[in-house]
Amino acid sequence: MTFFNNLMHNSMKNKHFIYSALCALMLSSTMFVSCDKDDDKKSEEKTTDDIINQIPAVDGNKQLTPDEQKSYLDQVGKAFMTEFQSTNFDNFIDLVNYAYEKYGEDYDWDNVESWADDAYDALIKTEKGKTLVDEDEWENESYDSKTDEYKTVIYRYLDYEDITEVIYTASEFKGHFVAENGKWTQTAADDLQFSFSDQNGKPCVLSVTTSGKTVNAFFGDDNKGYDWTRKENEDGSLTSESTEEIEKQIVAVPEHITVTLTQDGKEVIKSEINTDLSVASSTEYDFSKDKFNVTTTTTIDGYTFEVSKASFSNQDKKAESTFKLKKGDVKLLEYSIKANGEITNDDGDYDVNTLDTEISIDILGKVQIKGTSKDGGKLMDLLDEAEENQDNETVYKEKIAAANALINYGMYFDGGDTKQLEVVMEPFEEETWGGKTYWDYDLLIQFADGTKNAFDDFFIKANFYNVNNLWDDMSDDYENKIKVD
């Protein structure tokens, strides 16, 4: 938590952080926000369905050769990336560039800095003060050079903790700021809002609101300092005192968070985060006792990012995450991860027991990656046992073969049932400098005909020419257009 605390404390006192946070939110959206084009230009653009329909058709129930699979994956990757070309986002990129130049170094951020200082100070909720947590007393013989005698000395040790609670909560950051006449002006409000003008003089508003109940989640302590003193008392006894200064790190998680960015009254970005958090521990967030369920929906000018479930409950021995990316009504990407297992906490050391995992990924409805791994505890034990027997070829191969039997991940095309390729662990012999050999393994792609490729050998530019060229062009376009350093 030291990094988190320092980041909060130091950055709150710096106008560059606040401005950077504002720009970061807008910049993070440049990959997904389309711009307003004139109707004639839009009529010439290909729709998402047009782009997907250009992918060559394949029979998902027929086994394709490795070369056919590479070609098909190249076409699917190209279609997916086409949805995020820089030309779709020219207006938004212009907004980001303008905001960076207009509201940057030369703008007056004094009011924002003062607000940030006050908001951070409000995070320090409770100072519990100095508390005695341990004490000890014992006797010892000590030589007195003045009397040339030994005398009995009583030693006392007192151990104190000086605890401050720091509760990080979004609801403390509130106020309306307006950019005008070269500076930000502030008015009191119950939410956080920044109003400014875009490159065409149109009003833009970035706002953050929270609602519902908040739940305090404890994320441990941060040691801020240590003090030690020793004094001799009138009765000849010695007393030692130690004091540890501790900041207890707490995040007050709101039930609902809404972030919006509007441009000329039109909603460009809207993100809603809903959290159901159950915390059993009063001292630290404990995965073995606590549980959560989070859902988020973010709409960005025609794109929808939806986390319909991100949940964990050790009591139910379940964890799950599902995500969808859509453009309009067309699904671009969908994935789901489910796991069954139990977490135990032994003085802060977490162990995962018997973890079964199921993964499903779908890209444009054309490529599916799915599979399972069984008994995660046994899988890790087998890999550990293999590592312990790296100099024994027979044992090592037996352990890797047993580990392979617990995983089953493959790739499928166009919703078909035919596994086009799968992932396997492959043992290989390695030689050290001294000529001694040992065994290790790689994750490989294995095709139905038995041929295998390392990931680095399969995903090379020669195999995915269209995707690589499109990526290079897109990277250059964004780099040339975005002027924010």
- Is there a contact between 204 and 177 (Cβ–Cβ < 8 Å)? no
CB atoms within 10 A of CB 403: 21
Q: Give CA angle at 187 (186, 191), nearest 5°.
A: 105
Domain extents for the chain? 54-79+287-485
Burial class (CB in 10 A: 0-12, 13-18, 19+), 350: exposed
Tens digit of each residue's pLDDT (9 = 90 or more) over 98-111: 888 898 888 888 88
Angle (CA) 231-236-240 rounded to 5° is: 30
Give residue for tokens 């897109």: 474
Token pair, residue 162, equals 């000086």
**pLDDT values of the chain reduced to their tens digit, one per residue, 485 residues:** 333 344 334 434 444 444 444 444 433 333 333 334 444 444 345 676 777 878 888 899 999 998 899 899 989 988 888 887 777 778 778 888 888 889 888 888 888 888 888 888 888 776 667 889 899 999 888 877 777 788 888 999 999 988 888 888 888 888 999 998 899 999 998 889 999 999 899 999 999 999 998 888 887 788 888 899 999 888 888 999 999 988 888 888 899 999 999 999 998 889 999 999 888 777 777 777 888 899 999 988 778 999 988 998 888 888 899 999 998 888 899 999 999 888 777 776 777 777 899 999 999 999 999 999 998 888 989 999 999 999 999 999 999 999 999 999 999 999 999 999 999 999 999 887 777 889 999 989 999 888 888 887 887 777 777 788 888 888 888 888 888 77
Contact between 296 and 306 under an 8 Å Cβ cutoff? The reply is: yes
Q: What is the DSSP string of 5-17?
A: HHHHHHHTT-HHH
| Residues in a beta bridge with 140 | 153
Q: How far is CA 227 from CA 88, 220, 246, 402, in A?
A: 59, 21, 12, 55
At residue 46's C-alpha, the angle toward residues 307 and 54, to 5°, is 85
| Cα separation of the two ends of the chain | 29
Half-sphere exposure of 322 (CA within 13 A, CB side): 4
Question: What dihedral do alpha carbons 217, 218, 219, 222 form, nearest 10°?
Answer: 140
| CA dist 137 → 134, 142, 155, 240 (Å) | 11, 15, 6, 10
Select from 406, 403, 386, 384 the least CA-distant residue to 394. 386
3-state secondary structure of 212: strand
Length, in residues, of the chain = 485
Q: Summarize pLDDT for 308-337 with one digit per residue, the tens.
A: 889 988 888 888 999 999 988 888 999 999
What one-letter code names the amino acid at 412?
Answer: Y
Contacts of 151 (CB under 8 A, 6+ apart): 141, 142, 144, 236
Instruction: Name every residue whose Cβ is closer than 8 Å to that of residue 256 and which is 6 or more positions away in sequence.
Output: 210, 211, 212, 272, 273, 274, 275
